[in-house]
Amino acid sequence: MRTRLTQMLGIEHPVMLAGMGGVSYQRVVAAVSDAGGFGTLGAATMSSEQLDAEMRGVRELTDKPFGVDLLAALPERMVGDAHKVVEGGASLFVAGLGVPRDVIKVLHDGNVLVASMCGKVRHALAAVEAGCDFVIAQGTEAGGHTGTVATMPLVPQIVDAVGERVPVVAAGGIFDGRGLAAAIALGADGVWLGTRFIATPEARAVTGYKDALLRAHEDDTVISRGFTGKTLRAIRNQWTRYIEEHPEELSKFPEQMGKAVAANALHLGGDENTPVDPDKECYPSGQGVGAIDELIPAGEIVRRIVDEAEHALARAASTVVR
Ligand SMILES: Cc1cc2nc3c(=O)[nH]c(=O)nc-3n(C[C@H](O)[C@H](O)[C@H](O)COP(=O)(O)O)c2cc1C
């Protein structure tokens, strides 16, 4: 399935692994890239040294292209890390929060493409004006930090605003090939999936996270400021309920992260050996979670999504009575 996105990234399938902090480490990134999709390291929870090691790890596991996602909200780290991304052999840099104005030139000079996460049309316009190569339109259904506009209305409006100039990738609540087919019908050039790829053997996750995803229904997530101070969609639990009842205890980003850590509700960069309280822990999740009931190898997910999308597009064409 070729699109402008696959041509730009030099990949086979328009299926991208979201650069999820705490989850998208070398194993799952390499598995997605190796299957013909595009894996993105989630570097927000990594030290600069870890980022180096993870990029090296991906290159040892696959010779396919991969990317790195960082939160542009931490500008003091951006410039140094942009140089590392170039040296580390990544071919894409994704800015998770905000337009990465300070580093676009460094990245382009190093032959690294730049993309920006967008929750509103004006974010996409600003990203393209600043020189980003494509945008990821992320609807409120998404797991992790998220905005207020849903994927269905957001994607076509961003396509109308910038789609003639750059590819648009759809994100938020997409978990199978029907989502890819729908994204293409809305004018997007590919999809960026988070939650579905957490429920894989290769993804890194703190204790209880994958089990919580397998159990959760579509209405078990909530948008809370309780974990980071910014609006973040996660599985509803004791901590999100406590914060709903005590909004006066909230601090801004990033101070609230310290409070969540102190409350034993956030273990950034932890893994399955990290002791956590599953009734309080931050388990970011999108609304597609109700459809996830088994762990599936990440490469298999990529292959299934492409097959299902082809069927869904053919079925859609034959559903319309002429
Ligand atoms: C555990 C988790 C961590 C995330 N961390 C980041 C991040 O560090 N940077 C970023 O750009 N997006 C992050 N996101 C959002 C994803 O990039 C993506 O847009 C989202 O997962 C898509 O929605 P879905 O989960 O419904 O597939 C995160 C999402 C999850 C679930």
160 C-beta neighbours (distance < 10 Å), count = 12
CA 322 to CA 319: how far, in whole Å? 9
Does residue 78 contact residue 72 with C-beta atoms inside 8 Å? Answer: yes
User: How many domains is the chain partitioned into structurally?
Assistant: 2
174 and 231 assigned to the same domain: no
pLDDT score recorded for residue 269: 86
Please give the structure tokens belonging to residue 20: 């999820």
pLDDT score recorded for residue 74: 63
240 and 274 assigned to the same domain: yes
Name the percent of the chain lying above pLDDT 90: 91
* Tens-digit pLDDT profile for residues 189-233: 999 999 999 999 999 999 999 999 999 999 999 999 999 999 999
- pLDDT of residue 23 exceeding 60, the answer is yes
- Which of 25, 78, 145, 276 maximizes ligand 1 atoms within 8 Å of its Cβ, making it the mutation to test the pocket? 145
178 and 199 assigned to the same domain: yes
* Tens-digit pLDDT profile for residues 31-87: 999 999 999 999 998 998 999 999 999 999 999 999 999 986 566 778 889 999 999
CA 258 to CA 253: how far, in whole Å? 9
| Nearest atom (ligand 1) to Cα of 171 | 22
Pocket of ligand 1 (CB under 6 A): 18-23, 42, 44, 69, 71, 94, 96, 117, 138, 141-144, 171-174, 192-195, 284, 286, 288
Nearest to 65, CA basis, from 106, 17, 130: 17
pLDDT score recorded for residue 75: 67
Sheet strand arrangement including 134-138: 15-17, 190-193, 168-171, 134-138, 113-118, 92-95, 66-70, 39-42
Domain that holds residue 262: 209-289
CATH number for the domain spanning 301: value is 3.20.20.70
